A = this chain, B = another copy of it.
Protein backbone atom coordinates (compact mmCIF):
# COMPACT_ATOMS: atom_id res chain seq x y z
CA UNK A 1 0.00 0.00 0.00
CA UNK A 2 1.76 3.15 -1.10
CA UNK A 3 0.89 6.72 -1.85
CA UNK A 4 -2.76 7.25 -0.85
CA UNK A 5 -2.11 6.02 2.69
CA UNK A 6 1.16 7.55 3.78
CA UNK A 7 1.42 8.13 7.51
CA UNK A 8 3.55 10.92 8.89
CA UNK A 9 4.53 11.26 12.53
CA UNK A 10 4.98 14.98 13.18
CA UNK A 11 5.88 14.98 16.86
CA UNK A 12 6.34 12.62 19.79
CA UNK A 13 6.30 13.01 23.51
CA UNK A 14 7.08 9.88 25.42
CA UNK A 15 5.19 7.19 23.53
CA UNK A 16 2.47 9.66 22.48
CA UNK A 17 2.62 10.88 18.93
CA UNK A 18 0.88 13.38 16.68
CA UNK A 19 0.68 12.63 12.98
CA UNK A 20 -1.29 12.72 9.77
CA UNK A 21 -2.73 9.76 7.91
CA UNK A 22 -3.32 10.61 4.26
CA UNK A 23 -6.28 8.82 2.63
CA UNK A 24 -8.12 9.09 -0.69
CA UNK A 25 -10.88 11.04 1.04
CA UNK A 26 -8.64 13.46 2.89
CA UNK A 27 -6.15 13.73 5.69
CA UNK A 28 -6.80 12.38 9.17
CA UNK A 29 -4.89 14.21 11.89
CA UNK A 30 -3.89 11.73 14.57
CA UNK A 31 -4.59 10.99 17.33
CA UNK A 32 -8.22 10.92 16.22
CA UNK A 33 -11.53 9.72 17.60
CA UNK A 34 -14.00 8.24 15.07
CA UNK A 35 -17.74 8.47 15.84
CA UNK A 36 -19.63 5.32 14.88
CA UNK A 37 -22.26 5.20 12.14
CA UNK A 38 -23.38 1.60 12.56
CA UNK A 39 -26.06 1.55 9.86
CA UNK A 40 -24.52 4.18 7.56
CA UNK A 41 -25.62 6.98 9.88
CA UNK A 42 -24.11 8.35 13.05
CA UNK A 43 -27.35 8.09 15.01
CA UNK A 44 -29.43 11.28 15.17
CA UNK A 45 -26.87 13.41 13.30
CA UNK A 46 -26.68 14.67 9.74
CA UNK A 47 -23.33 14.63 7.92
CA UNK A 48 -23.53 18.44 8.00
CA UNK A 49 -23.61 18.32 11.80
CA UNK A 50 -20.61 15.97 11.80
CA UNK A 51 -18.76 18.37 9.51
CA UNK A 52 -19.59 21.21 11.88
CA UNK A 53 -18.13 19.07 14.68
CA UNK A 54 -15.15 18.63 12.35
CA UNK A 55 -15.23 14.85 12.60
CA UNK A 56 -12.47 13.62 10.30
CA UNK A 57 -13.18 9.89 10.26
CA UNK A 58 -16.25 7.81 10.98
CA UNK A 59 -16.68 4.09 11.38
CA UNK A 60 -19.42 1.99 9.89
CA UNK A 61 -20.27 -1.66 10.47
CA UNK A 62 -19.83 -4.34 7.86
CA UNK A 63 -22.11 -6.82 9.63
CA UNK A 64 -25.03 -4.39 9.74
CA UNK A 65 -24.62 -3.04 6.23
CA UNK A 66 -24.14 -6.52 4.76
CA UNK A 67 -27.49 -7.55 6.23
CA UNK A 68 -29.26 -4.27 5.53
CA UNK A 69 -29.41 -2.66 3.01
CA UNK A 70 -26.79 -5.05 1.55
CA UNK A 71 -23.28 -4.23 0.39
CA UNK A 72 -24.16 -4.81 -3.25
CA UNK A 73 -26.93 -2.25 -3.06
CA UNK A 74 -24.52 0.22 -1.48
CA UNK A 75 -21.98 -0.48 -4.24
CA UNK A 76 -24.61 0.00 -6.94
CA UNK A 77 -25.40 3.41 -5.44
CA UNK A 78 -21.79 4.53 -5.63
CA UNK A 79 -20.39 3.13 -2.39
CA UNK A 80 -20.76 4.08 1.22
CA UNK A 81 -19.37 7.61 0.92
CA UNK A 82 -21.97 8.55 -1.64
CA UNK A 83 -24.75 6.49 -0.03
CA UNK A 84 -24.49 8.29 3.30
CA UNK A 85 -23.23 11.60 1.86
CA UNK A 86 -19.97 11.54 3.80
CA UNK A 87 -17.04 12.61 1.68
CA UNK A 88 -14.43 12.35 4.39
CA UNK A 89 -12.61 9.14 5.37
CA UNK A 90 -14.58 6.09 6.51
CA UNK A 91 -13.36 2.98 8.30
CA UNK A 92 -15.33 -0.26 8.18
CA UNK A 93 -14.82 -3.08 10.63
CA UNK A 94 -14.72 -6.65 9.38
CA UNK A 95 -18.02 -7.86 10.78
CA UNK A 96 -16.17 -10.26 13.05
CA UNK A 97 -16.88 -8.50 16.32
CA UNK A 98 -20.66 -8.45 15.73
CA UNK A 99 -20.79 -12.01 14.45
CA UNK A 100 -18.86 -13.35 17.42
CA UNK A 101 -21.12 -11.37 19.75
CA UNK A 102 -24.07 -13.47 18.51
CA UNK A 103 -22.93 -16.22 20.89
CA UNK A 104 -25.93 -18.50 20.49
CA UNK A 105 -26.49 -17.81 16.83
CA UNK A 106 -23.12 -18.57 15.21
CA UNK A 107 -20.78 -21.48 14.62
CA UNK A 108 -17.12 -20.92 13.91
CA UNK A 109 -14.75 -23.22 12.03
CA UNK A 110 -11.29 -22.66 10.66
CA UNK A 111 -12.65 -21.46 7.36
CA UNK A 112 -15.13 -18.90 8.70
CA UNK A 113 -18.34 -18.37 10.64
CA UNK A 114 -21.93 -19.38 9.94
CA UNK A 115 -24.45 -17.21 11.76
CA UNK A 116 -28.05 -16.21 11.93
CA UNK A 117 -29.15 -12.65 11.22
CA UNK A 118 -30.36 -10.75 14.31
CA UNK A 119 -32.99 -9.16 12.04
CA UNK A 120 -34.79 -12.16 10.55
CA UNK A 121 -32.92 -15.27 11.68
CA UNK A 122 -31.76 -16.06 8.15
CA UNK A 123 -28.49 -17.99 7.84
CA UNK A 124 -25.32 -16.36 6.48
CA UNK A 125 -21.64 -17.11 6.28
CA UNK A 126 -18.67 -14.82 6.73
CA UNK A 127 -15.15 -15.80 5.79
CA UNK A 128 -12.05 -13.64 5.49
CA UNK A 129 -12.61 -13.51 1.73
CA UNK A 130 -16.28 -12.63 2.10
CA UNK A 131 -15.55 -9.89 4.65
CA UNK A 132 -13.05 -8.29 2.29
CA UNK A 133 -15.46 -8.59 -0.64
CA UNK A 134 -18.17 -6.85 1.39
CA UNK A 135 -15.78 -4.14 2.53
CA UNK A 136 -14.64 -3.62 -1.05
CA UNK A 137 -18.27 -3.17 -2.06
CA UNK A 138 -18.77 -0.65 0.74
CA UNK A 139 -15.60 1.16 -0.29
CA UNK A 140 -14.31 2.63 2.98
CA UNK A 141 -10.83 4.15 3.07
CA UNK A 142 -9.67 1.90 5.88
CA UNK A 143 -10.88 -1.70 6.06
CA UNK A 144 -10.20 -4.35 8.66
CA UNK A 145 -9.00 -7.94 8.56
CA UNK A 146 -11.57 -10.54 9.62
CA UNK A 147 -10.63 -11.67 13.12
CA UNK A 148 -12.05 -13.66 15.98
CA UNK A 149 -12.52 -11.64 19.14
CA UNK A 150 -12.73 -14.15 22.01
CA UNK A 151 -13.30 -13.77 25.74
CA UNK A 152 -10.14 -12.15 27.19
CA UNK A 153 -9.56 -14.68 30.02
CA UNK A 154 -10.18 -18.07 28.33
CA UNK A 155 -6.60 -18.88 27.47
CA UNK A 156 -7.04 -22.15 25.66
CA UNK A 157 -9.83 -20.83 23.45
CA UNK A 158 -8.06 -17.48 23.00
CA UNK A 159 -5.01 -19.24 21.66
CA UNK A 160 -7.08 -21.11 19.12
CA UNK A 161 -8.92 -17.91 18.11
CA UNK A 162 -5.65 -16.02 17.84
CA UNK A 163 -4.08 -18.57 15.55
CA UNK A 164 -7.18 -18.54 13.42
CA UNK A 165 -7.02 -14.72 13.35
CA UNK A 166 -3.44 -14.91 12.07
CA UNK A 167 -4.35 -17.32 9.29
CA UNK A 168 -7.37 -15.20 8.41
CA UNK A 169 -5.18 -12.07 8.33
CA UNK A 170 -3.11 -13.62 5.56
CA UNK A 171 -6.21 -14.72 3.70
CA UNK A 172 -7.57 -11.15 3.92
CA UNK A 173 -4.37 -9.78 2.43
CA UNK A 174 -4.60 -12.29 -0.38
CA UNK A 175 -8.28 -11.57 -0.95
CA UNK A 176 -7.87 -7.82 -1.30
CA UNK A 177 -8.29 -6.60 -4.87
CA UNK A 178 -8.76 -2.84 -4.44
CA UNK A 179 -5.63 -0.77 -3.96
CA UNK A 180 -7.43 2.36 -2.77
CA UNK A 181 -8.31 0.89 0.62
CA UNK A 182 -5.86 0.46 3.50
CA UNK A 183 -6.33 -2.99 5.07
CA UNK A 184 -5.38 -3.06 8.74
CA UNK A 185 -4.37 -6.24 10.56
CA UNK A 186 -5.70 -6.92 14.06
CA UNK A 187 -3.70 -8.06 17.08
CA UNK A 188 -5.57 -10.43 19.43
CA UNK A 189 -4.52 -12.50 22.43
CA UNK A 190 -6.72 -11.37 25.30
CA UNK A 191 -4.93 -10.32 28.47
CA UNK A 192 -2.06 -12.79 28.15
CA UNK A 193 1.31 -11.10 27.50
CA UNK A 194 2.85 -14.02 25.64
CA UNK A 195 -0.16 -14.36 23.34
CA UNK A 196 -0.28 -10.63 22.71
CA UNK A 197 3.44 -10.62 21.94
CA UNK A 198 3.09 -13.52 19.55
CA UNK A 199 0.08 -11.90 17.90
CA UNK A 200 1.71 -8.48 17.55
CA UNK A 201 4.84 -10.02 16.04
CA UNK A 202 2.88 -12.18 13.63
CA UNK A 203 0.53 -9.41 12.49
CA UNK A 204 3.39 -6.91 12.21
CA UNK A 205 5.30 -9.35 9.99
CA UNK A 206 2.53 -9.49 7.40
CA UNK A 207 3.11 -6.00 6.00
CA UNK A 208 -0.24 -4.37 6.70
CA UNK A 209 -0.26 -0.56 6.22
CA UNK A 210 -1.77 -0.16 9.70
CA UNK A 211 -2.48 -2.21 12.80
CA UNK A 212 -5.38 -2.51 15.17
CA UNK A 213 -5.55 -3.82 18.69
CA UNK A 214 -8.72 -5.83 19.15
CA UNK A 215 -10.20 -7.71 22.06
CA UNK A 216 -9.88 -4.87 24.57
CA UNK A 217 -12.59 -3.02 26.45
CA UNK A 218 -14.46 -6.32 26.56
CA UNK A 219 -14.36 -6.99 30.31
CA UNK A 220 -10.73 -6.73 31.31
CA UNK A 221 -9.47 -4.18 33.89
CA UNK A 222 -7.92 -0.87 32.89
CA UNK A 223 -4.55 -2.10 34.21
CA UNK A 224 -4.77 -5.18 32.01
CA UNK A 225 -5.67 -2.99 29.04
CA UNK A 226 -2.73 -0.68 29.68
CA UNK A 227 -0.28 -3.56 30.00
CA UNK A 228 -1.42 -4.99 26.68
CA UNK A 229 -1.11 -1.59 25.01
CA UNK A 230 2.41 -1.11 26.30
CA UNK A 231 3.48 -4.56 25.22
CA UNK A 232 1.99 -4.20 21.74
CA UNK A 233 3.31 -0.65 21.37
CA UNK A 234 6.85 -1.95 21.74
CA UNK A 235 6.40 -4.45 18.92
CA UNK A 236 4.29 -2.77 16.22
CA UNK A 237 6.29 -0.71 13.72
CA UNK A 238 6.26 2.98 14.61
CA UNK A 239 5.94 4.04 11.01
CA UNK A 240 2.39 2.72 10.76
CA UNK A 241 -0.81 3.92 12.44
CA UNK A 242 -2.26 2.01 15.40
CA UNK A 243 -5.96 1.75 16.05
CA UNK A 244 -7.46 0.75 19.41
CA UNK A 245 -10.85 -0.71 18.53
CA UNK A 246 -14.08 0.12 20.34
CA UNK A 247 -12.55 2.29 23.02
CA UNK A 248 -13.74 5.76 23.84
CA UNK A 249 -14.00 7.19 27.33
CA UNK A 250 -12.01 10.38 27.87
CA UNK A 251 -9.67 8.48 30.19
CA UNK A 252 -9.23 5.68 27.65
CA UNK A 253 -8.27 8.21 24.98
CA UNK A 254 -5.62 9.78 27.20
CA UNK A 255 -4.26 6.43 28.27
CA UNK A 256 -4.30 5.06 24.75
CA UNK A 257 -2.53 8.09 23.30
CA UNK A 258 0.01 7.86 26.11
CA UNK A 259 0.72 4.33 24.91
CA UNK A 260 1.17 5.09 21.24
CA UNK A 261 -2.40 4.78 19.91
CA UNK A 262 -3.41 6.95 16.95
CA UNK A 263 -7.03 6.00 16.19
CA UNK A 264 -10.04 5.26 18.42
CA UNK A 265 -13.71 4.57 17.80
CA UNK A 266 -16.62 4.00 20.13
CA UNK A 267 -20.43 4.07 20.17
CA UNK A 268 -20.30 5.52 23.68
CA UNK A 269 -20.95 9.22 22.93
CA UNK A 270 -24.05 8.54 20.82
CA UNK A 271 -25.32 5.66 22.93
CA UNK A 272 -24.99 7.64 26.16
CA UNK A 273 -26.74 10.56 24.47
CA UNK A 274 -29.78 8.40 23.80
CA UNK A 275 -29.78 7.49 27.48
CA UNK A 276 -29.72 11.05 28.80
CA UNK A 277 -26.06 10.97 29.79
CA UNK A 278 -23.79 13.86 28.89
CA UNK A 279 -20.05 13.25 28.80
CA UNK A 280 -17.57 15.65 30.30
CA UNK A 281 -13.80 15.27 30.55
CA UNK A 282 -14.28 14.45 34.22
CA UNK A 283 -17.42 12.32 34.33
CA UNK A 284 -21.00 11.95 33.21
CA UNK A 285 -24.07 14.03 33.92
CA UNK A 286 -27.50 12.38 34.05
CA UNK A 287 -29.59 15.09 32.45
CA UNK A 288 -32.81 13.54 33.72
CA UNK A 289 -31.75 14.31 37.28
CA UNK A 290 -34.24 16.67 38.98
CA UNK A 291 -31.35 18.97 39.90
CA UNK A 292 -31.27 20.02 36.25
CA UNK A 293 -34.96 21.02 36.09
CA UNK A 294 -34.34 24.74 36.58
CA UNK A 295 -30.65 24.84 35.73
CA UNK A 296 -29.92 27.53 33.17
CA UNK A 297 -26.30 26.43 32.73
CA UNK A 298 -25.15 24.46 29.70
CA UNK A 299 -23.92 20.89 30.15
CA UNK A 300 -20.37 22.22 30.46
CA UNK A 301 -19.77 25.90 31.06
CA UNK A 302 -17.32 27.17 28.46
CA UNK A 303 -17.80 24.18 26.14
CA UNK A 304 -17.63 25.27 22.51
CA UNK A 305 -20.19 22.82 21.10
CA UNK A 306 -23.45 23.96 19.47
CA UNK A 307 -25.49 22.43 22.29
CA UNK A 308 -23.64 24.16 25.12
CA UNK A 309 -23.54 27.43 23.18
CA UNK A 310 -27.35 27.48 22.88
CA UNK A 311 -29.18 25.29 25.35
CA UNK A 312 -29.58 24.96 29.11
CA UNK A 313 -29.64 21.75 31.09
CA UNK A 314 -33.25 22.63 31.91
CA UNK A 315 -34.16 22.65 28.22
CA UNK A 316 -32.36 19.37 27.54
CA UNK A 317 -34.13 17.77 30.51
CA UNK A 318 -37.45 19.05 29.17
CA UNK A 319 -36.75 17.45 25.78
CA UNK A 320 -35.87 14.15 27.44
CA UNK A 321 -39.00 14.10 29.61
CA UNK A 322 -41.15 15.11 26.64
CA UNK A 323 -39.53 12.26 24.63
CA UNK A 324 -38.40 14.66 21.91
CA UNK A 325 -35.90 13.28 19.39
CA UNK A 326 -33.97 16.52 19.52
CA UNK A 327 -32.51 15.51 22.89
CA UNK A 328 -30.57 12.64 21.29
CA UNK A 329 -29.28 15.00 18.60
CA UNK A 330 -28.20 17.75 20.98
CA UNK A 331 -26.57 15.46 23.54
CA UNK A 332 -24.84 13.46 20.78
CA UNK A 333 -23.42 16.71 19.44
CA UNK A 334 -22.08 17.55 22.88
CA UNK A 335 -20.69 14.08 23.61
CA UNK A 336 -18.95 13.72 20.26
CA UNK A 337 -17.58 17.24 20.55
CA UNK A 338 -16.20 16.38 23.98
CA UNK A 339 -14.17 13.46 22.61
CA UNK A 340 -13.14 15.23 19.40
CA UNK A 341 -12.07 18.35 21.23
CA UNK A 342 -10.20 16.37 23.88
CA UNK A 343 -8.34 14.54 21.10
CA UNK A 344 -7.62 17.82 19.29
CA UNK A 345 -6.30 19.36 22.51
CA UNK A 346 -4.16 16.31 23.25
CA UNK A 347 -2.77 16.35 19.71
CA UNK A 348 -1.93 20.04 20.01
CA UNK A 349 -0.22 19.43 23.34
CA UNK A 350 1.96 16.75 21.72
CA UNK A 351 2.84 19.10 18.86
CA UNK A 352 3.79 21.73 21.43
CA UNK A 353 5.70 19.33 23.67
CA UNK A 354 3.41 19.73 26.67
CA UNK A 355 1.36 16.54 26.61
CA UNK A 356 2.05 15.56 30.21
CA UNK A 357 1.43 19.09 31.47
CA UNK A 358 -1.83 19.25 29.54
CA UNK A 359 -3.06 16.06 31.14
CA UNK A 360 -2.08 17.16 34.63
CA UNK A 361 -3.29 20.74 34.31
CA UNK A 362 -6.64 19.94 32.85
CA UNK A 363 -7.72 17.29 35.21
CA UNK A 364 -6.19 14.89 37.66
CA UNK A 365 -8.63 12.28 36.37
CA UNK A 366 -7.19 12.66 32.92
CA UNK A 367 -3.71 12.04 34.24
CA UNK A 368 -4.72 8.66 35.58
CA UNK A 369 -7.31 8.27 32.89
CA UNK A 370 -10.19 7.10 35.05
Contacts and interface: CB of A to CB of B under 8 A. Distances in A.
Given A84-B315, A85-B311, A318-B69, A44 B77 contact: no
B319 A41 contact: yes
Interface stretch (A6-14, A143-151, A322-330, A353-361): A322-330
Of the listed residues A43, A83, A317, A318, the one surrounded by the most CB atoms of chain B closer than 10 A to its CB is A318
A349 to B, nearest CB: 30
A21 interface: no
A94 to B, nearest CB: 20
A280 interface: no
B47 A314 contact: no
A326 B311 CA distance: 21
Given A41-B319, A319-B41, A324-B41, A69 B329 contact: no
B73 A325 contact: no
Contacts of A293: 69, 73
Interface in A74-97: 76-78, 83-85
A310 B40 contact: no
Given A318-B69, A321-B68, A306 B46 contact: yes
Interface string A44-56: 1111110000000
Contacts of A39: 318-319, 322, 324
A82 to B, nearest CB: 8
Contacts of A315: 40, 77, 83-85
A302 B310 CA distance: 33
B46 A326 contact: yes
A329 B46 contact: yes
A6 B14 CA distance: 67
Given A41-B319, A44-B325, 11 more contacts: A39-B322, A41-B322, A41-B324, A46-B330, A64-B322, A68-B321, A69-B293, A73-B294, A77-B314, A83-B312, A83-B318
A291 to B, nearest CB: 14
Contacts of A294: 73, 76-77
A308 to B, nearest CB: 11
Contacts of A324: 39, 41, 43
Given A318-B68, A322-B39, A325-B325, A310 B47 contact: yes
A330 to B, nearest CB: 7
A342 B316 CA distance: 33
A238 interface: no
A39 to B, nearest CB: 5
A111 interface: no
A296 interface: yes
Contacts of A84: 315
